[in-house]
């Protein structure tokens, strides 16, 4: 078996964890594996104890792990809004992120329509006197992406140009208005520690393991809980997380529910989305027949 074929298999395996495309995963894997003996990589592909090589690198600092864990928590909360994006459905997978490129910094790719709900969960604000979002979170706009920063930690949201950011912020403002609570943006936010942030960071970098689930929820504590509906079995996820090259030694408790068998009752599909965030194809669906705004 040639080294290139092993590298290709390793890249394909990494993609099942991260959701990357081949052009993103393959160069990173080849670079990391170039000095590792072929026999060791072949054994690791079979799930045997493998070499100490960062084919799917983890975050290196406490601040970075904390930011990534907070992003995972926010993304799981924001996914509930995506379920109600017309046409509302609890059957289709609703995930904020489609892929993670675990470099330095971590780069995340967003699903369609997910930026606004994610920012609503992330950005610091005081809402009815309660701190919401992530304290101290700022952003730096680039031409085709935006960097979220908190202290020395940074995560890049790929594909978010200035226009996309403005659109996401309009969704945030719409949600603030829709809820009708006394809200001050840019202040407050939660500043408490995230329990075992290393686990949350590791899960975020392996988010594609749950891509086929209808939804994913996490409960951050000393031993994180991960719950999902449909998609992979507990045994499949457990085996993946224990893989010698791409898994993690962070303790995680797993729980799977059956996928929903029945979708939302059409009579209950009344949660509105502003028209500019709904495509022309879905705008005429019953979900948007809400009368005056």
From 2-16, 22-36, 228-242, 278-292, the region with the lowest mean pLDDT: 278-292
Shared domain for 102 and 28, answered yes or no, is no
Shared domain for 124 and 7, answered yes or no, is no
What stretch of H or E contains 25?
Answer: helix 22-33
**How many structural domains comprise the chain?**
2
Shared domain for 15 and 84, answered yes or no, is no
Dist. CA 217–CA 251, nearest whole Å: 16
Shared domain for 35 and 94, answered yes or no, is no
Q: What is the pLDDT of residues 104-159, one digit of tens each?
A: 899 999 999 999 999 999 999 999 889 999 999 999 999 999 999 999 999 999 99
Phi and psi of 291, rounded to 5°?
75, -160
- Is there a domain that residue 159 lies in? yes
Q: What are the strands, taking DSSP E only, across 206-265?
A: 215-219, 224-229, 252-257
Q: Is the pLDDT of residue 199 over 90?
A: yes
Shared domain for 14 and 86, answered yes or no, is no
Using the CB atoms, write b or e for 224-242: b if 16+ within 10 Å: bebbbbbbbeeeebeebbe
Shared domain for 257 and 140, answered yes or no, is yes
pTM score, two decimals?
0.88
Q: What is the pLDDT of residues 19-73, one digit of tens each?
A: 999 999 999 988 888 878 888 888 777 777 766 667 899 999 999 999 999 999 9
Chain CA centroid to CA 161, Å: 19
Shared domain for 69 and 11, answered yes or no, is no
- Is there a domain that residue 156 lies in? yes
Q: Where are the alpha helices (DSSP H) in 84-196?
A: 115-122, 162-179
Shared domain for 72 and 183, answered yes or no, is yes
- Is there a domain that residue 105 lies in? yes
Identify the burial level of 183 via C-beta atoms within 10 angstroms of its C-beta, where 0-12 means exposed, 13-18 middle and 19 or more buried. Answer: middle
Domain that holds residue 112: 61-293
Shared domain for 29 and 81, answered yes or no, is no
Q: What is the pLDDT of residues 220-234, one digit of tens each?
A: 999 999 999 999 999
């Amino acid at each position: 078996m040639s080294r290139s074929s092993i590298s290709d298999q390793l890249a394909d395996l990494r993609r099942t964890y991260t959701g990357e495309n081949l052009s993103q995963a393959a160069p990173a894997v080849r670079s990391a594996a170039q000095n590792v003996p072929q026999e060791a990589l072949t054994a690791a592909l079979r799930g045997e104890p493998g070499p100490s090589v960062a084919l799917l690198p983890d975050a290196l600092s406490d601040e970075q792990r904390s930011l990534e864990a907070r992003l995972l928590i926010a993304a799981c909360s924001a996914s509930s809004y995506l379920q109600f994006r017309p046409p509302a459905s609890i059957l289709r997978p609703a995930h904020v992120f489609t892929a993670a490129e675990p470099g330095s910094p971590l780069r995340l790719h967003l699903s369609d329509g997910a930026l606004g709900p994610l920012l609503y969960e992330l950005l610091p604000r005081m809402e009815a006197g309660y701190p919401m979002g992530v304290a101290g979170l700022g952003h730096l706009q680039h031409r085709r992406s935006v960097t979220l920063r908190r202290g020395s930690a940074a995560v890049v949201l790929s594909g978010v140009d200035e226009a996309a950011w403005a659109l996401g912020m309009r969704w945030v403002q719409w949600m603030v208005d829709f809820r009708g609570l006394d809200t001050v943006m840019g202040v407050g936010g939660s500043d408490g520690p995230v329990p075992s942030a290393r686990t949350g960071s590791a899960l975020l970098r392996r988010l594609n393991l749950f891509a086929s689930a209808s939804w994913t929820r996490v409960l951050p504590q000393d031993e994180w809980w991960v719950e999902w509906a449909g998609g992979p079995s507990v045994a499949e996820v457990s085996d993946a997380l224990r893989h010698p090259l791409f898994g993690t030694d962070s303790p995680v408790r797993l729980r799977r529910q059956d996928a929903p068998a029945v979708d939302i009752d059409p009579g209950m599909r009344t949660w509105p989305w502003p028209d500019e965030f709904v495509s022309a194809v879905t705008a005429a669906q019953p979900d948007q027949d809400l009368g005056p705004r």
